[in-house]
């Protein structure tokens, strides 16, 4: 069969020393750090985690520049640990990620009980640094600086739902497998970015993430 148009390129992220990880799906976890839930005026739901998704084609690589997206006056950063799954649905690698958010659109969606898609899923909305092969991500400092100033500080030990629990729960809802990426939630300190800003994200033992913000 011939394609009517050329197929879109496969979204991917590098895994150090191993090659390119082809991304099939991107799941994101909401309210997985109590301090961030509180700063957004939300309670943590200890009964079960909840999720939203991002389109794989909306992933951009660390080191790039994101043009300020349309439709928003409140683009926010959320630094997160990302984990990548192998054929059996187990974690094979982890990396630093940004869940970029059009916060004003997300807030309007919450207000009107509508879906979060336009707030969370747009071109460049998921930024991924090169990943590393890891088996344990349980107690690592997480930090995001903007223009050299501290914005977000946390530690993965403070996740409401640690990675093994997330994977166990998500596996009750989806047939997890190779190519799945999970952004595991953000610690406190989210905030707005402006054109000209330079973001640097770090998680212990992982390749740092950098992102520039350009005018629209
Ligand atoms: Mn997030």
**40-64 pLDDT, tens per residue?**
998 888 899 999 999 999 999 999 9
**80 C-alpha vs ligand 1 centroid, how far in Å?**
7
**120 C-alpha vs ligand 1 centroid, how far in Å?**
9
How many angstroms separate the Cα of 34 from the Cα of each of 39, 41, 56, 156?
A: 9, 11, 28, 12
Tell me the pLDDT of the chain (216 aa) as tens digits: 899 999 999 999 999 999 999 999 999 999 999 999 889 998 888 899 999 999 999 999 999 999 999 999 999 999 999 999 999 999 999 999 999 999 999 999 999 999 999 999 999 999 999 999 987 899 999 999 999 999 999 999 999 999 999 999 999 999 999 999 999 999 999 999 999 999 999 999 999 999 999 999
Would the pTM count as exceeding 0.75? yes
**5 C-alpha vs ligand 1 centroid, how far in Å?**
33
pLDDT in tens, 121-153: 999 999 999 999 987 899 999 999 999 999 999
**30 C-alpha vs ligand 1 centroid, how far in Å?**
6
**186 C-alpha vs ligand 1 centroid, how far in Å?**
5
**124 C-alpha vs ligand 1 centroid, how far in Å?**
14
Beta strands in the chain (DSSP E): 12-15, 19-22, 25-30, 50-54, 59-61, 65-67, 75-77, 79-85, 91-99, 101-102, 126-128, 141-146, 149-155, 180-183, 191-192, 198-203, 209-214
How far apart are the C-alpha atoms of 70 and 49, rounded to whole Å?
A: 30
CATH of domain 12-205: 3.90.850.10
What is the CA 184 to chain-centroid distance, rounded? Answer: 7
Give the three-class secondary structure for 192.
strand
**187 C-alpha vs ligand 1 centroid, how far in Å?**
9
Give the three-class secondary structure for 102.
strand
Three-state SS string over 48-85 comes to CCEEEEECHHHEEECCCEEECCCCCCCEEECEEEEEEE
């Amino acid at each position: 069969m011939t394609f009517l148009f050329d197929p879109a390129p496969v979204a991917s992220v590098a895994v150090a020393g191993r090659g390119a990880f082809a991304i099939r799906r991107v799941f994101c976890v909401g309210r997985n750090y109590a301090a961030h839930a509180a700063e957004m005026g939300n309670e943590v739901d200890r009964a079960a985690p909840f999720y939203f998704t991002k389109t794989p084609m909306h992933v951009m690589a660390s080191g790039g520049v994101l043009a300020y997206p349309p439709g928003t006056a409140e683009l926010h950063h959320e630094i997160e640990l990302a984990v990548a799954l192998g054929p059996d649905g187990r974690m094979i690698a982890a990396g630093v990620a940004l869940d970029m958010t059009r916060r004003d659109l997300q807030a309007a969606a919450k207000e009107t009980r509508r879906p979060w898609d336009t707030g969370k899923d747009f071109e460049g909305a998921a930024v991924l640094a090169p990943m590393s092969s890891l088996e344990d991500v349980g107690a690592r400092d997480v930090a995001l600086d903007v223009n050299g100033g501290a914005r977000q500080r946390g530690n993965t030990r403070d996740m409401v739902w640690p990675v093994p629990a997330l994977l166990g729960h998500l596996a009750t809802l989806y047939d997890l497998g190779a190519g799945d990426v999970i952004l595991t939630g953000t610690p406190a300190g989210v905030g707005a970015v402006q054109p000209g800003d330079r973001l640097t994200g770090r998680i212990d033992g992982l390749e740092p993430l950098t992102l520039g913000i350009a005018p629209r």
